[in-house]
Structure 1
Amino acid sequence: MPADDVPETFHVTTDEQLRAVSNLARHRIMSVLRFEPATITQIATRVGLAKGSSSYHVRLLERAGLVKVVRTRKVRGVTERYYAMAARSIVLPDPGEGGPDLLMRHAVADLEAAPREGERHVGMAHLRLTEEQFAELGARLEALADEYRKLSDPALPDVSLVFALFRPTSQVQAEGDAK
């Protein structure tokens, strides 16, 4: 399937889809498929899973509509399937107050699994912003990510960008909730 035919976003709306993306192995499989199609064998090698496990996870993702077969070919009498993402990006529902943010949990797990000797840029800033500044910063971060997403070249090594802009629970509010 030509890259131009891939929808921009896929909105996760069902429990089956949410369960499919909530697993770290499946998250990593989707990361493998984000730039180019791959076979079960290629996925297994890149993710570090057995072929049987990779096949199981890909079937769940396919059943949920998150990945699909984009081409097949015969190899020594066996049909080899190439899988790709169903859309360029996946949009998860808001987890709601106190709910786990799956994207952040997976991002932290990926960061922890990344080679220590590799270059990293990890930081955290505590800011005090007006509502307008908060909204502007969020829009600028999204625009910057979109700008670099368009520059992304599948021939280059993978890079992950994760950001979260949020208002933490205030200490006074957290202490009041605990009583």
Structure 2
Amino acid sequence: MHEERGDLVLSEAEQFRALGHPLRHRLLMALRQRPATFAQLAAALGSTKGTVGYHVKILERAGLVRVAYTRQVRGGTERHYEPTSQRLRIARDAPVGGEFLVRAALAEMMPADKDAPDVTLLRHVRLTTGQARALAASIERFANGEHLTDQEDGQPYGVLLSLYRADIPVLPAE
């Protein structure tokens, strides 16, 4: 596990097991807003502090969250947790591929809202390796761009960008 351009590069089975549970995925998404305590996370997710604590500890052992800071309160120590990185990237040699993040995105998608933009496109193209590399670099630049920064008054949206080799049959020449 290492960081690349601010991304947490997922490569270990423990990381994928930790992210595979829907509540842990939601905890990680909530923590991307700001550091939070078990109580704050429990309130946001409609869960109990004990359940949240159990799942946060699994995320912490997998290297996905860490203690951002602690604070003394009424004779105890309150821990505020944060993600170890704002973005996830799957390592080339990971035990799973991009389908893992696609499933995660599907799980968090809400039904379409007539007042909110909702665009999902699937396009298949035939590219040379050089063209695929150029498109991958373009996707990276888009994902790293200023136009995708969080807005305080904004609504949550997911952006899933993927370039993948597709298993599409090729018709023989006529």
TM-score range, shorter chain: 0.7 to 0.9
Matched residues in 1 for 2:84 and 2:52: separation?
18
Which one of 34, 38, 41 corresponds to residue 40 of structure 1? 38
Matched residues in 2 for 1:75 and 1:133: separation?
56
Q: How does 1:8-157 map to 2 (within 5 A)?
A: 8-94=6-92, 101-111=99-109, 114-117=110-113, 118-148=116-146, 151-153=149-151, 156-157=154-155
User: Cα distance, 1:134 vs. partner?
Assistant: 2.1
2:6 maps to amino acid: E
**What is the root-mean-square deviation of aligned Cα atoms in Å?**
2.8
Change over 3 Å in CA distance of 1:11–1:159 after alignment to 2: same
* TM-score of the pair, normalised by structure 1: 0.75
**Structure with greater helix share of residues:** 1
Q: Deviations over 1:124-159 (max 9, x none)?
A: 222233333222222112211110476334564332
Q: Deviations over 1:30-84 (max 9, x none)?
A: 1111241111122223333332221111010112222111112233334221000
2:155 maps to amino acid: P
In the alignment, which residue of structure 2 is the partner of 1:165?
Answer: 163
5+ residue gaps, structure 2: none
* TM-score of the pair, normalised by structure 2: 0.77
Change over 3 Å in CA distance of 1:22–1:148 after alignment to 2: farther
Q: Is the 8 A contact 2:32 2:82 kept in 1?
A: yes
Q: Is the 8 A contact 2:90 2:97 kept in 1?
A: no
1:110 maps to amino acid: E
Identity of counterpart residues, as a percentage?
Answer: 34
